[in-house]
Amino acid sequence: MMGSGAYPYNVEGIKTKFDSNGETIYYTGFNETGKRIATSYGPQWFYTHGGGCVNCHSADGKGGVPVMMGYTVPADITYASLTTIENPPYTDAIKTAIRDGLDPSGESLSPTMPRWQMSDKDLNDTLQYIKTL
Ligand code: HEC
């Protein structure tokens, strides 16, 4: 589990200590070993400064606030919301969205959503955390 992980920056005023690898990734974009997860796409500031899911989807996962220099409003990624999108259902497809930026029907998500080159473990842990939102 997380120790006193020293990250280069924190999401101000929200949280600096995390209970799981998934939560660490959600808040920082780093995994529990202190490695920044490689990404492609995303807005310029994200590309240069990094960040976690929280920077766009907010602490409660509900998104909805426009991203600085982004083109698309971040989606609600609470598990309940993702899994009520029907046809085809957004369950394991969440992983494809996170890693490959594709929605369940294979359409590309907006380039504002970074593509995260995560290991299977990091991806599973992130999904596990999202399920708690
Ligand atoms: C720089 C902003 C940004 C960051 C950081 C970000 N996202 Fe997103 N995300 C978006 C935007 C914008 C969308 C909506 C894309 C669209 O509508 O095409 C999105 C969409 C998604 C979707 C698809 C939801 C749907 O209904 O189609 C998932 C799942 C998701 N993000 C998960 C994550 C996770 C997990 C992380 C962290 C590992 C993350 N995002 C980090 C901006 C971001």
Question: Mean pLDDT across the stretch 78-105?
Answer: 79
Lining ligand 1 with CB less than 6 A are: 25, 42-43, 46, 51-53, 55-57, 67, 70, 72, 74-75, 77, 82, 94, 97-98, 103, 109-110, 112-114, 116, 126
Closest CA to 18 of 78, 76, 59: 59
Closest CA to 78 of 66, 99, 63, 93: 63
pLDDT in the model for residue 25: 97
Q: Output 58 or 6, whichever has higher pLDDT.
A: 58
- Angstrom distance (rounded) from CA 125 to CA 109: 22
Which pLDDT tens digit goes with each residue over 23-80? 999 999 999 999 999 999 999 999 888 999 999 999 999 998 888 777 788 989 888 8
pLDDT in the model for residue 85: 59
Q: What angle do CA 64, 106, 100 make, to 5 degrees?
A: 70
- Only one residue has tokens 């974009």, namely 29
